[in-house]
Structure 1
Amino acid sequence: MITTIIAIIGISLISYLLFTNFYPSFGGQLTKEQQVVYQHSKQFRNGKFNNTKAVPKDLSFTETLKLAYTFFTTKVPNSRPKKDLNVKKLDSTQVAAYSNQARMIWFGHSSFMLQMENKTILIDPMFGRVAAPHPLLGANRFNKEFPLEVEKIPQIDAVIFSHDHYDHLDYETVLKIKDKTRHFFVPLGVGLHLEAWGVPKTKITELDWWQEITFENLTLVCTPAQHFSGRKFNTAQTTLWCSWVIQSKTENIYFSGDSGYASHFKEIGNKYGPFDLALMECGQYNYMWADIHMMPEETAQAGIDVKAKKIMPIHWAGFKLALHEWTDPIKRLKAKAEILNLMVITPEIGQEIIITDMKNTYKKWWEAI
């Protein structure tokens, strides 16, 4: 019996090592030479990136198994929509010719297409079916279709990523967009994955927190977030995570990425606000990991902190990655925002969002599903 158990453990370990070392979706891995390069970052210590606050807590193997067991065995009523979410379709010709007011199109979860200053920019483009390294390792996303299939998206001027988790950085998506993307902007270390997937190093710019860069007539700022990173067990925190500020001469946008609630929101608001639109994480939360994902009430307060004229909840209505009802984020956020007198916009996937529009004519579309 003992011999059998040892053999099973050995086979499982060897299978895991082969899978993670040779399956391409796991991406690149930090080298000793690159660790030396990242020593200049205040966030990089002892071979890993760190939050300003000492979170998240490193879980033991037993704690990790317990958390995984809880997640996969807890049944949550209404955890998924009863049908695929409705998607408003776009015409690729019209997208290519667009030159009007700065606008955004939500592709679900945290993925956006931004058209601004005659540029097309993708933010955390994730068009995979599951948020996992392999299609068999995750549940399907809530929207089977997209406003515009990735193959039909015209020339992409820039792609911005916030961190390397599977629901934000997808291997198959990168393969489909890398040859028609002019440049990629990522936090420190994330470029290793892109390079491993065939993106030339000359097309990648890595930034640390508070670093600014000019991309022709736009300003991009890599700003802090309180989160973590890693695409497999032995690469945790070896790449940086961030939020982003995107500015033109007339528009100012904030993208929170993934983050727990912390003081960086006020810092960003004081330095770069007010924002015409703040795209704020609101979903996949639990009190067990509250340091790295905000509760909906905290999302509303963070919108106030960054001095947003209006916010849009993101990181919800895409995947089931936590133990709450799928509509819980929007209900709780709107209730708190009303108390704070904060405008919350709720477009459907594919619906046009004009950055500076303050009319807020969006429907409560989730109530009909």
Structure 2
Amino acid sequence: MIFALLAGCASQHRVTVINNENYPVKYAESGQSEAIFSNAYPGKKTYPVTCEKSCYPAHPDLICEEPDDRCHYIGKQISPVLQTQFTVQWLGHASFLIKTPDEQTWLLDPVSGQFDWPVNWAFVVSGGRNRNTPNWPTAAELEAVNAVFYSHIHYDHFNKSDIQAIGAKPNYFVPLEFSDYFPSGNYNITEMSWYAQTKLGEVNIHFVPANHFSNRMWVPFLYSDYGKTLWGGWVFEHQGKTLYFAGDTGYSKHFKDIQEKYGEIDICLLPIASYYHPEEGNWFRYVHTTPEDALVAAQELGCKVMIPWGYGNKSWGMGDVSAHAPLKRLLYMKERLNSKVPAYILNEGESISL
């Protein structure tokens, strides 16, 4: 049974919870005092294909001012004729501006600058690089935003200062247990479980699984909010046409599950970065798809076009060889795997109507 529950909280947010009780995702591990959210397919993964060496050859369609950095994709692209009437603009990292077929304006994981304090300061002190200012909607475009969607609570996907700038006018759609993390105000928030659904205008909204994790606060030996909030992706459907935003995710069987439930996906926004860290072994790949994982996922999803994200001149370059290395690896592995899924490569700020 799927039900909606209206809830109030001290912050005065208007919170609606839409829960699919047929799909439990919260579990109590041995020795834990309370249940936390878990992946649908936890445990060790088997990956269909892995690039072992020489994974980042130069590509004639990727022009870089520095090795794998300050790059621009110039390749000739053929836009599939899908007639979805969705327009997709990539703002940078995981942030997208979406124009829907019924003329709504939506934001996905909008983060316009650095992380929220104090992580912005700690990240740079620990050796991370400041992010270049990303492309961002104009004031008029922000005023027109009807809805904002978040995939999970991590700082590079959810930024309180951006929520305050966007304001309380739009509807906010988030995973379960998310609303307490919003800044103070009177926001209209809908929390959703996996495979819960709702509707905004003429577009059906579905929250779907991802293979990831959540945490935002960690005080050594005192407190951690690991697993307190859910994570996932979004499927938007209008008159049989679908757009899928995966959020941060590693490769797992959930891609096949999504295809089985919603059919072949017209537009797939898939992550291809943050899979590499020389000191963390396979952990980064467990929660972030490699470019070849994303290509396999696109095949399993039945994507009619794949739009990759996560790389770029205005990313943080987290867990990667360099800012554009994931795109070089994608271009190489797409040819090596003879992938038939069309890939439309956007530079940050560019858009496409499909």
Q: TM range, normalised to the smaller chain?
A: 0.7 to 0.9
Partner of 2:279: none
2:216 matched to which residue of 1?
231
- Pairing partner for 2:199 from 214, 218, 224: 214
Where do residues 18-57 of structure 1 align in structure 2 (5 Å cutoff)?
A: 42-46=24-28, 47-55=35-43
CA distance in 1, matches of 2:106, 2:340: 31
1:228-250 superposed Cα distances (whole Å, 9 cap, x missing partner): 00101210110000011011115
1-structure distance, mates of 2:211, 2:67 = 26
Whether the 8 Å contact between 1:185 and 1:206 is mirrored in structure 2 is yes
Equivalent of residue 311 in structure 2, options 316, 320, 331: 316
**1:151 deviation in Å?**
7.6
Work out whether residues 108 and 150 of structure 2, in 8 Å CA contact, stay in contact via their aligned partners in 1. yes
Structure 2 residue aligned with 1:123: 108
Which is richer in helix?
1
Q: Can you list the C-alpha shifts for 1:87-142, whole angstroms capped at 9, x where unaligned?
A: xxxxxxxxxxxxx9421111100100101111001111111224764432234555
The equivalent of 1:198 in structure 2 is 185
Alpha-carbon distance change, 118 to 151 in structure 1, aligned in 2, over 3 angstroms: closer
Task: Tell me the number of residue pairs that the alignment of Structure 1 and Structure 2 aligns.
Answer: 283
CA distance in 2: counterparts of 1:145 and 1:52, whole angstroms: 33
Bigger mean CA deviation after superposition, 336-345 or 148-157: 148-157
Query: Where does 1:94-243 land on structure 2 (aligned, <5 Å)?
Result: 101-116=85-100, 117-130=102-115, 133-138=118-123, 139=128, 142-149=131-138, 153-181=142-170, 183-194=171-182, 196-200=183-187, 203-233=188-218, 234-243=224-233
Name stretches of at least 5 consecutive residues in structure 2 with no aligned partner: 1-9, 11-18, 29-34, 46-65, 74-83, 219-223, 277-281
1:121–1:156 Cα contact (<8 Å) kept = yes
Matched, 1:304 2:293: no
Q: How does 1:349-360 map to 2 (within 5 A)?
A: 349-354=348-353, 356=354
Query: Does the aligned pair in 2 maintain the 1:56–1:292 contact within 8 Å?
Result: no
Aligned equivalents of 2:115 and 2:249: distance in 1?
Answer: 21
Identity among equivalent positions (%) equals: 27
Using a 3 Å threshold, how does the CA distance of structure 1 residues 266 and 133 change in structure 2: closer, same or farther? farther
- How far, CA to CA, are the matches of 1:145 and 1:280 in structure 2? 19
Preserved contact between residue 214 and residue 230 of structure 2 (Cα < 8 Å): yes
1:63-102 aligned at under 5 Å gives the runs: 81-82=69-70, 101-102=85-86
Which residue type is aligned with residue 335 of structure 1? Y
Larger radius of gyration: 1
Q: Is the 8 Å Cα contact of residues 320 and 326 (structure 2) preserved in structure 1?
A: no
Deviation at 1:179, TM superposition (A): 2.4
SS of residue matched to 1:300: helix
The reply on whether 1:262 has 2:252 as its aligned counterpart is yes
- Distance across 1 between alignment mates of 2:159 and 2:256: 30
C-alpha distance in 2 between matches for 1:179 and 1:345:
34
Q: Indicate if the aligned counterparts of 2:97 and 2:106 stay in contact, CA closer than 8 A.
A: yes
Flag the structure with more relative contact order, 1 or 2, with Cα contacts below 8 A and sequence separation at least 6: 2
The one-letter amino acid of 1:330's match is L
**1:41 to partner: Cα distance:** 6.2
Over aligned residue pairs, what C-alpha RMSD do you find?
2.9
Q: Do the aligned partners of residues 290 and 191 (structure 1) sit closer, same or farther apart at CA in structure 2, a change above 3 Å counting?
A: same
Q: Within 1, Cα distance between the matches of 2:322 and 2:24?
A: 38
Q: Match of 1:174, as an amino acid?
A: I
Change (3 A) 1:143 1:151: farther
Match of 2:323, as an amino acid? W
SS of 1:245's equivalent in the other structure is strand
